[in-house]
Amino acid sequence: MSGMVIIGGGMAAARACINLRASDYQGPITLISEEALLPYDRPPLSKASIMEEGEPQPIWLLEPDIVASLKVDSKLGVAVSKIDRAAKRVVLTDGSDVAYDKLLIATGAKPRSLGPHALTLRDHKDTLELRKRFVPDKNVVIVGGGFIGLELASSAAKRGCKVTVIEAQPRILMRGVPEAIAKIIHERHVAAGVEMLTGTAIETINAHSVKLKDGREIPADTIIAGIGASPEVWLAQEAGLTIENGIACNAQMQTSDPDIYAAGDCCSFVHEQMGGRRIRLEAWRSAQEQAATAVANMLGGSKAHVSVPWFWSDQYDLGLQITGMADMGPRTVTRIVSNDALILFHVAENGTLMGASGIGPGNSIARDIKLAEMMIAKQMKPAPDALADPNVQLKALLKG
């Protein structure tokens, strides 16, 4: 008997299982994950799991008793080798196959590699390996000043390592983070003793050093590649599905095959509210929301995915949160929330709020970013003066 089949072991896959049952779907659910573990939470892998005193345990998104109560048939440690669209079944590496009515691909993204000498972070066992290496006075060289690289730099510095971050671009976080905020994060790393080499190109990565184009050689006990991730699309590609910066979905999270959906880092989709353009998000909450949209439509709905993008990063005592699409708001309005917290609002030419980026200690800017997200969802055009004035409550603007 065929039913719902989900490929993946992350947030989107877990959320799909939960939502299918929460929507009163009674048929079979099969979850197929290449990892031997049930789906677990990945954001802690670069932060809390590295810092924990004892051996960190995965934070389960689906605990074994939940899997049992949801009646999910979980096939772990086995990969899908082929999607047979004509027969509507997936073939597994152990030779078995599973038929589907609807298939959800939630295979995530895989870190780009820099060869055999550079580690990457993707799963729990990668974290266990990095923990072993993050001991005081060891030289840790991180290639790439993006979120994973910087979060790992923060964790390694906190564990007493001598950390160097090498970024080829003129500054860190070029993709998606405004310069004013990237500067605050950069300075925080410098204050923690991290050597920040921006605008620096690499010549070669050796077993125990990184050689730079300018001739310098940085000694390294551990080298980590944090140069982004590529969507895991090969199964979909082999099956002939349309690929466009990930598995191409419409606004309903449906691929070019009406019986196959995708969610999370592996796919791009048309975001109707964000100018109807195709975007791919690598974000924890987006993965959940996309899975929820996909499930609603796998069960016969026709729901468009309209959630405003949102993500966070924690480094040292700083919390960064970004919502909306900063690049769709060319006008920047700055709100100085306090002497150590700041929010930038990204406003379109016509005055519509399109994005907001905030940074401050802990979760100090969280509530204002949430309010900004709600204003973006309502396509509001708040007065720039009011946005800039920390004495004007955003909640008052939202309620207008």
Least Cα distance to 282 among 311, 308, 260 occurs for: 311
The reply on whether position 364 binds another protein by CB under 8 A is yes
The reply on whether position 21 binds another protein by CB under 8 A is no
Instruction: Write the secondary structure of the chain as one string of H (helix), E (strand) and C (coil).
Output: CCEEEEECCCHHHHHHHHHHHHCCCCCCEEEEECCCCCCECCHHHHCHHHHCCCCCCCCECCCHHHHHHCCEEEEECCCEEEEECCCCEEEECCCCEEEEEEEEECCCEEECCCCCCCECCCCHHHHHHHHHHCCCCCEEEEECCCHHHHHHHHHHHHCCCEEEEECCCCCCCCCCCCHHHHHHHHHHHHHCCCEEECCCCEEEECCCEEEECCCCEEECCEEEECCCEEECCHHHHHCCCCECCCEECCCCCECCCCCEEECCCCEEEEECCCCCEEECCCCHHHHHHHHHHHHHHHCCCCCCCCCCCEEEEEECCEEEEEEECHHHCCEEEEEEEECCEEEEEEECCCCCEEEEEEEEECCCCHHHHHHHHHHHHCCCCCCHHHHHCCCCCHHHHHHC
For the CB of residue 162, give the shortest distance to another protein in the complex, in Å: 30
Under rule CB under 8 A, which residues in 283-342 are in contact with another protein? 284-285, 288, 310, 312
The reply on whether position 91 binds another protein by CB under 8 A is no
The reply on whether position 371 binds another protein by CB under 8 A is yes
Among 208, 362, 379, 383, binds another protein (CB under 8 A): 362
Under rule CB under 8 A, which residues in 30-59 are in contact with another protein? 59
The residue among 42 and 186 lying less far from another protein, judged by its C-beta, is 42
Structure tokens at 340: 């150590």
Whether residue 339 contacts residue 305, with contact meaning beta carbons closer than 8 Å, is answered with: no
Backbone CA torsion sign across 176, 178, 181, 186: positive
The reply on whether position 395 binds another protein by CB under 8 A is yes
CA distance 41 to 20: 19
The reply on whether position 367 binds another protein by CB under 8 A is yes
Binding pattern for the stretch 104-143 against another protein, x by CB under 8 A and - elsewhere: ----------------------------------------
The reply on whether position 64 binds another protein by CB under 8 A is no
For the CB of residue 233, give the shortest distance to another protein in the complex, in Å: 26
| Stretch touching another protein by CB under 8 A, among 78-86, 241-249, 281-289, 378-386 | 281-289
The reply on whether position 397 binds another protein by CB under 8 A is no
Tell me how many residues contact another protein (CB under 8 A). 17
Q: Which residues contact 374 (CB under 8 A, 6 or more apart)?
A: 398
For the CB of residue 370, give the shortest distance to another protein in the complex, in Å: 5
Among 5, 6, 12, 15, binds another protein (CB under 8 A): 15
Under rule CB under 8 A, which residues in 155-194 are in contact with another protein? none
The residue among 211 and 311 lying less far from another protein, judged by its C-beta, is 311
The reply on whether position 67 binds another protein by CB under 8 A is no
Among 363, 378, 383, 389, binds another protein (CB under 8 A): 363
The reply on whether position 366 binds another protein by CB under 8 A is yes
Among 12, 16, 18, 241, binds another protein (CB under 8 A): 18
| Stretch touching another protein by CB under 8 A, among 87-95, 111-119, 267-275, 357-365 | 357-365
For the CB of residue 75, give the shortest distance to another protein in the complex, in Å: 24
| Stretch touching another protein by CB under 8 A, among 129-137, 142-150, 243-251, 280-288 | 280-288
Residue 103 identity: L
For the CB of residue 369, give the shortest distance to another protein in the complex, in Å: 9
Structure tokens at 215: 């001739």
| Stretch touching another protein by CB under 8 A, among 203-211, 216-224, 332-340, 361-369 | 361-369
Q: Which residues bind another protein (CB under 8 A)?
A: 15, 18, 59, 61, 284-285, 288, 310, 312, 362-364, 366-367, 370-371, 395
